[in-house]
Amino acid sequence: DNGVLAQFHDAFTIQHTGTGMQIHGTEGSLLAEDVMTQQPIGKLYLRRHADVEEIETDPPENLYMRSVRLFNQAVKGEGQPAASAQDGIQSLAGALAVAESAQTGKQVEVQS
C-alpha cells in the first residue's frame, strides 16, 4: 500500500561469485559488496546518478567475536545483543510469510 517494492534472492550455489546487497530509493542507491560472508570484509557505496561515494564504516571485526561480546555485555546488563528477541520474531514472521507465499503463489502480509 505504501509503494515499497522488495525483491530478495539468496543462494550460495554459484562457486566464484561475490556477495552483495542493493537498496534503491528515490534519492539514491546503497550498494554493498562482499558483505554477506562470515569474514568482516566488504564495502558500502552510495550512488546518486553517475556519482558513487564509498561510505566509511566501523573497522572490521570478527563477526562471531562481536556477537559473543555483545551477548556477554547484555547478560551483564551493559548493553544489547546484536539481535533482540523482537528481531528474531520479525525474522520468523518474514520467513513464514515467504514460505506461505511460495506455497500459495499469493502475496502475504508480514505481521509486525
For every residue of 45-75, DSSP letters joined together read: EEEETTEEEEEP-PPP--HHHHHHHHHHHHH
Find out whether 57 and 44 touch, Cβ atoms under 8 Å.
Answer: yes
Find out whether 44 and 29 touch, Cβ atoms under 8 Å.
Answer: no
What residues make up the domain containing 78?
61-112
Residue 9, pLDDT score = 75
Q: Is 72 left (phi over 0), alpha (psi -120 to 50) or beta?
A: alpha
**Are 31 and 67 members of one domain?**
no
Residue 101, pLDDT score = 92
**Are 40 and 51 members of one domain?**
yes
**Are 73 and 83 members of one domain?**
yes
Compute the chain's Rg from CA coordinates: 17
**Are 52 and 68 members of one domain?**
no
Q: Among residues 26, 42, 59, which one ends one of the domains?
A: 59
Give the pTM.
0.61
**Consecutive 10-residue averages of pLDDT for the chain (112 residues):** 71 82 91 86 94 93 90 96 92 93 92 74
Q: Among residues 17, 43, 59, which one ends one of the domains?
A: 59
